[in-house]
Structures are given as structure tokens and as C-alpha cells.
Amino acid sequence: MKIPFSYTFRSLWTRRLTTIMTIAGVALVVFVFAAVLMLAYGVEKTMVDTGSENNVICLRKASQGELASQVDRDAINNIKTYPEIKLSNDGKPLASNELYTIINLTKIETNDMGNVAIRGVEPAAFELRSHVNIIDGKMFGLGINEIIIGANIHKRFYGCNIGNELAFGGEQWKIVGIFEANGTGFESEVWGDVNRFMTAFDRANVFSALTFALNNIDDFSTVQKRVEEDPRFNYVELKREKVYYREQSEIMAGFIRILGTTITIIFSFGAMIGAMITMYSAVANRTIEVGTLRALGFRRKNILSAFLFESLTIALLGAGIGIALASFLQFFSLSTINWGTFSEFAFGFELSSDIIIYSFIFSIVMGIVGGFFPAVRAARLNIVNALRAS
């Protein structure tokens, strides 16, 4: 004979104050847990979405990123002749020679200096990255000192408005446009004509990378093999653009997860102790009640299940509240240094179905651990002694 669920809900309502306090504790822990996962996922999503499945990036081997990479002009020109590279509308290879470096600008919020990524691109870059769109102003002109800036740079740094000039590379550069890129990492960059940047930074024959699109996504292995077998290109490597940006996010996202999970586990012990105290108190206050249930024919396992269900109900209610509160973090964004590129990087909290599932699983574990021993104690109460209690 099973104890009805209504019994559990009435018991929780009878102990409203302690129930609410325990739910609040669980909600706080789940909020922190979900926030950490959302933060790490936000970093990954921002970086990974920066790349395209069909694009390939050519870098120097072991460079760990574009900032330290150097690929000479001859190698790039030869790779551009491969038949697997997609052609643009004008019949030229859909590829962009790119220069990547960093400059210092002053942050609006703190007045501190921050590193900002500078990317020199060719016109084909905008066809390669169709999610990059100018939202104000115009495109930079080729062969002149004009630049466009990402929306995050525009919001976070002084002097980053249309018509202003930035000083870097020993020259003055006029801002003529602001662009967005669907919230990806490109929004934390400044773009301009690669050939003008090459001259300003004295990099006439050495680019940071080459990015190109494939005719077919499955052509990657063919192109990769072609490069590996050519002795002239033994110092370069090809990566799918999406894989490259995923690798760039791994260090930061991994650090956030490890640190955040450690803090959350520490908090969870407090929540589990709180749940345990609440359930032990419930057992102590309901000794006669438990004895009556046993006298009516309910088995020990029914008592155990009822008290465990109470604990799980508290945990799930706390999880629901914690996740609901964490979802509001999606309206906020953060800015920090990308450890892969050493440049300013803006990202936001991102909630996913996996994070919701993990948060509920985490709360269920807390509910089981916090409620198991009190439930066992309730199930083991002697019927006669329980009925004699006052």
C-alpha cells in the first residue's frame, strides 16, 4: 500500500518556513551551477560560431593561433590555385589573405587599457563570413586608411565612433563603419584593408593566415593531404575554421568550468546539509505520525519512499527556481582577455537544454543525498515507541 502524494505536499506545507528556506538554499546552489555552465557555454558558442563549417584556415604549425602565425605570400598564392577552393562571383578564389595583431585602447567602464584585435582582410572575407554585416556607416575603402569596428568594441572603448580616428601602426585610421556578426568573436575586432595594414606594420610578404572556402565540405581531407605532401608547405597546417575557433575557446571555457564546478560543489554540501537538517527535523516532529502510518499497514519502504519524495520535491522546486533565475543572466554580457589571442573578448551567458538537464540532475543528487539518511531513520522507527512518543 503506497502513501499518497498529497500526504507529502501537506507535510511540506505544514513546515512552510523550513521548506522555503531549504528550497532557497538549493535554488542558490543550482543558480551558481547553471551560471557557471552558461558562462562556459557562452564562451564556446561565441568562439565556435565565429567559424564556418565550409571554411578552412591556413596557419603556421604549432603557432597556437593567428597572433603568432606567419605564412609567406608565395605559399598563400600557391594554395589559392587548388581546384578544391570555391570561386567567388568574379571567378577568383574565395579566399582572404589576413593579418592579425593587437593594439591598445582605453576601456569606457574602467579607464584601463585593453587589447583589441586588428584584422586585415580582403574583400572576399565578407563573402566568406556572410554573418558579418555593417549596421552603421559604410565599408572601408581599399588602399586607404579606413577601418570598420565590431559592435562590442564600439560599446566598450573610447573613441570608437564613426568619424573618429584611431592611432596604430604609426598612422591614423578613420572609423567609417560599425559591424555586427551575430554575436560571434568578430564583433570584438577591428577590420581594415589587409594591404594597408601590411604596409603599416611592415609585414610586406608575411601574412598571419589564409582563410578560404571549399567547393564541398568533404574536400578538406584532399586539400590537407595536398598541402602535407608538398615540401614547400611543410611549415603550415590547415584546420577547419570551426575547429580552430573551438580550440581557441577550450582553455578559457575549461578553466571556468573547473573553477566554477569546484565552488558549486562546496556550496552544494551546505545545501545538502540544510536539506538533511530539514528532513531530520521532519522525522522528529512526525514520530507519532510515522508510527500511525506503520500501524495502519504501511511498510518501511513506503515510509522511506515518502520521505525521499519530500526531499526530491524540495530539490526539484529549488532547481526550477534556480534555473529560472539563471535564465535572466542571458541579458548580460561580459568582457575579458581571450587567453588564446590575448585580445579583448566579449561574450554572454547562454542557456541550453543540456544545461537545464544537468542542473536538474545535480539537484536530484542533492535531494537524494540530503534526504536519504533521514528517510532511513523514519523507516526504521519502532511502531510501539513511535506511538508512545509525545
* pLDDT score at 343: 62
Alpha-carbon gap, residue 306 to 10, rounded angstroms: 12
- How many C-beta atoms lie closer than 10 Å to residue 90's C-beta? 8
pLDDT digits (tens, 9 = 90+) for 345-367: 677 888 989 999 989 998 888 88
Q: What is the mean pLDDT of residues 230-258?
A: 83
Residue 290 has pLDDT above 70, yes or no: no
- Report percent pLDDT > 90 for the chain: 34
> C-alpha 3: how far from its chain's center?
44
Q: Which residue has the higher pLDDT, 374 or 330?
A: 330
Q: What is the mean pLDDT of residues 50-71?
A: 88
* pLDDT score at 288: 59
Q: Are 366 and 268 in contact (CB under 8 A)?
A: yes
Residue 186 has pLDDT above 60, yes or no: yes
* pLDDT score at 340: 61
* pLDDT score at 379: 62
* pLDDT score at 100: 93
Residue 295 has pLDDT above 90, yes or no: no
Confidence of residue 324 (pLDDT cuts 50, 70, 90): very high
Residue 33 has pLDDT above 70, yes or no: yes
pTM of the model: 0.75
Give the domain ranges of the chain: 5-48+249-388, 62-234
Confidence of residue 306 (pLDDT cuts 50, 70, 90): confident
Longest CA–CA separation in the chain, Å: 95
Q: Are 359 and 34 in contact (CB under 8 A)?
A: yes
Q: Are 297 and 306 in contact (CB under 8 A)?
A: no
Q: What is the mean pLDDT of residues 259-285?
A: 71
* pLDDT score at 166: 93
* pLDDT score at 382: 61
Mean pLDDT rounded to a whole number for the chain? 83
Reference 155, options 214, 93, 108; nearest CA is: 108
* pLDDT score at 342: 61
38-52, 137-151, 310-324: the lowest-pLDDT one: 38-52
* pLDDT score at 287: 59
pLDDT digits (tens, 9 = 90+) for 1-18: 455 556 566 666 667 777
pLDDT digits (tens, 9 = 90+) for 142-170: 999 999 999 999 998 998 999 999 999 88
Residue 50 has pLDDT above 70, yes or no: yes
Q: What is the mean pLDDT of residues 109-114?
A: 82
Q: Is 385 exposed, middle or buried (0-12, 13-18, 19+ CB in 10 A)?
A: exposed
Alpha-carbon gap, residue 375 to 22, rounded angstroms: 16
Residue 302 has pLDDT above 90, yes or no: no
* pLDDT score at 2: 59
Q: What is the mean pLDDT of residues 172-194?
A: 92
pLDDT digits (tens, 9 = 90+) for 69-104: 999 999 999 999 999 999 888 888 999 999 999 888
* Residue 378 dihedral angles phi and psi, to the nearest 5°: -65, -40
